Amino acid sequence: MKYTYRQLKKLLRHGDVILTHGNSLISKMIRIITLSYWNHAVMYVGKEDIVQSDKGGIVLTPLKDFAKKEIAVYRHRKASAGQLRMICSYARKQKGGYDWVGLVQLGLLLLCGIRGNVKFDYLGIKFAVSSGLAPAFGIGLNGALLG
């Protein structure tokens, strides 16, 4: 589903996981290996910030960059507001470069003909995530699809 910036501001809460996709070579490779439409997972950490891992490493990205993109939003069902703030705080503090090792592993899986092997499979939605952010996503993924 596509949302305007105003809609995203109203919709998103701390700790929401957002799945999206791109058309770069890496994005296409991830989609082929994971057998998923989605190839990028990010987390909303409040203050109109998204934490994501891209080729520049783990970065904060403005929420407005995700307006009008096709996304799926997942929300934790059981976490308290305090737990979600802890998840977001953890994600905000992560530093590091792009998970090139993980990307090479995905490439080797493709070359070996192994598909569908992913770091996360949530409600049938498969996606990979940077090793630097994986713990925050692991904490945050007992959720429900919105929209």
The pLDDT value given to residue 143 = 45
Tell me which residue range forms the domain holding 54: 5-146
Any idea what the CATH number is for the domain that residue 112 is in? 3.90.1720.10
* Strand partners of residue 60: 51
Query: Is the separation of the CB atoms in 29 and 106 below 8 Å?
Result: yes
The pLDDT value given to residue 81 = 87
Cα four-point dihedral sign 74, 40, 10, 88: positive
Domain count, the chain: 1
pLDDT-flagged residues of the chain (< 70):
97-147
Give the number of other Cβ atoms within 10 Å of residue 79's Cβ: 18
The pLDDT value given to residue 138 = 54
d(CA 40, CA 120): 12
